[in-house]
A and B are shown apart, each in its own frame.
Chain A
Amino acid sequence: MSDFAPLGDPVIPDYGQVSDCVINNGVFCGDWFISQWATVFWPPLLSHIVMVAIAVSIGFVIAFFAGLLAYRKKWLAGPIGMAATFLYTLPPLALFQLLVPFTGLSLLTVEIALVCFTLVIIFQAVLVGLSGVPDDVRRAATGMGLDRNQLLVKVELPLALPSIISGVRIATVLTVSIATIAAFVVDDGLGSPIIKAVSSPFNTQFVGAGALAVLLAFALDGLLVLLGRVLTPWTKARS
């Protein structure tokens, strides 16, 4: 694989026709970016999206049920919250280092670490959302004869949705960012072209990959905002 800028001097060996920008190592060379898109940028972008999607999905499922449990059994909220916070405070690189002896230099190692960082955010969002359901609404629902599951599914979860979605948004943006470090473990994701480019003086590769990570974060965040609007039409309804 030699899809990234080579080391040393001259900056670009004689690959044939190159632009002035590439020869002068400009900050960002659009023509090179476009010509290398299919090999240097697109595959890492795709694997980055997959990596983030898997981590946020698994993190969501775990944190969601942990949040439900903590809501039902109040005494569990403290211990679960503390464990999740502890995982969140670990430096990502240290966590990778810790996991590699067990799970190797694999995607599994990366995903375990990424999931760990989503937990506390989504867990808190679920718990805050459920606890924020107005008492009079809960009392009216119970008083009308909704049982516990009906109360949860018909009333509490829908009303917790805005909080849950904002938690998932933060977790997603964070995971897009942290997933770039995964390149220390696997040759995957947008971190891979960045790390390879950091050791070379050629700018366009890491500027391009970095910009893609930022744009990806914005795009996913935007999608989740749209999802939130579709799922919670009442929050937009005002007289």
Chain B
Amino acid sequence: MTQHSTGTSITFDQATKTYLGAAAPALDALDLEVEAGELVCLVGPSGGGKTTALQLVNRLVDLTSGDIRIGDRSITDQSAIELRRTIGYAIQQSGLFPHYTVADNIATVPAILGWEKKRIRARTAELLELVGLSPVDTWLPRYPAQLSGGQQQRVGIARALAADPPVMLMDEPFGALDPITRVAVQDEFLAIHRAVGKTTLFVTHDIDEAIKMADRIAILKPGGKLAQFGTPAEVLSNPADDFVGEFLGAERGLKRLALTTVGEVVSDSHDRAGAEAETADARTTTAGWPDVEATMTLREALSVVSAARAEGAIVHAGDSRLGEVSLRDLIAPPAAGEDREGVRA
């Protein structure tokens, strides 16, 4: 058994980066507190400085002014090399070493840190299991060229987790994957994140990915300014300004529906239906309504209902029928976060 270090907070304190020869800063006085164990997505258009913000943390890019702290410790307190060995780093296209086997790729940082061979082997096997590549022995001796994109990305995540760093930086890690693989790897990573509790900064240009993955979303706008920082529900309900509204897109109402599952709404509709007489009544009106699973998001259920040209859907959890949701329940859910105020930056 390897015990996992718990996450550590990351604090951006007026973090500013102006590249040599550039007139305007790429990142302008960013104040951001990522709490321990939290997954924060940095999103925004290109030129928003989201990758710069990420690379400031592991000092691939040096701060022009301001400070960044991991826990209580400024990142400038130790050498860049030492610092990086305590931070997990995963990037687009995985960045795996093509000349290393899967085993050697994952062992990169532990080997540098001088772990014993036995400990490295055990850790490597444990991580491959964690990212869903088993049986372990068939994957260890392969080269990256022998893996699919999704498998490479899984190994990339395992490699980033290898030395059990308290903090993970992920730079569009799933950007190059096809949509189906992408969803699968996202789900797996979310499960891993919940299991290991690393504080994670996650850069993506895909707002849907951010809504799905993030505990909180930081939206950066051109000029490297923080436009808004809040939970997905807060951001979708109360965009801080026109830029955020436009960035979230015309479908942000629909995106918000993706935050709630049918299961959360169906109990509500039961409460409101209440009276027994109405149930009998409902039996006639629900004829032809499609079936949906309780785990579906409202957005997905709406799509099913729309495709069936129905007025609602029958909700199931496995074999048991939970009740119904009407079209009205689907498009105006009572609990999609509007009770909370968006945090404006």
* Chain A 201-239 interface mask (CB, 8 Å, partner B; 1/0): 000000000000000000000000000000011100111
A140 touches B95 (CB 8 A): yes
* Chain B 77-115 interface mask (CB, 8 Å, partner A; 1/0): 000011111010101111111111000000011001000
A136 touches B145 (CB 8 A): no
Residue in A134, A144, A154 whose CB lies within 8 Å of B84: A144
Q: How far is the CA of A155 from the CA of B87 in the complex (A)?
A: 20
Residue in A144, A233, A237 whose CB lies within 8 Å of B89: A144
Residue in A139, A154, A237 whose CB lies within 8 Å of B91: A139
Q: How far is the CA of A159 from the CA of B147 in the complex (A)?
A: 18
Band of interface residues on A: 20 to 34
Q: Contacts A145-B112, A147-B81: A237 and B145 contacting too (C-beta < 8 A)?
A: yes
| CB-CB contacts below 8 Å: B132-191 with A | 142-143, 145-148, 156, 159-160, 169
User: How many contacts between A and B, using CB within 8 angstroms?
Assistant: 78
**Chain B residues within 8 Å of A237, by CB:** 142-143, 145-146
- Closest Cβ of chain A to B58, distance in Å, is 6
B side interface size, CB within 8 A: 33
- Is A50 engaged at the interface, CB distance under 8 Å to the other chain? no
Q: Contacts A139-B60, A143-B84, A143-B91: A159 and B146 contacting too (C-beta < 8 A)?
A: no
| CB-CB contacts below 8 Å: A99-139 with B | 134, 136-137, 139
Closest to A237 in B: B143
- Closest Cβ of chain B to A148, distance in Å, is 9
B95 touches A159 (CB 8 A): no
- Is A150 engaged at the interface, CB distance under 8 Å to the other chain? yes
Q: How far is the CA of A142 from the CA of B87 in the complex (A)?
A: 12
**Chain A residues within 8 Å of B60, by CB:** 139, 142-143
B84 touches A142 (CB 8 A): yes
Give the top 4 A-B pairs by smallest Cβ distance, nearest first.
Answer: A140-B95, A145-B84, A145-B85, A143-B89
Binding site for B on A (CB under 8 A): 134, 136-137, 139-147, 150, 154-155, 158-159, 232-234, 237-239
Binding site for A on B (CB under 8 A): 55, 58, 60, 81-85, 87, 89, 91-100, 108-109, 112, 142-143, 145-148, 156, 159-160, 169
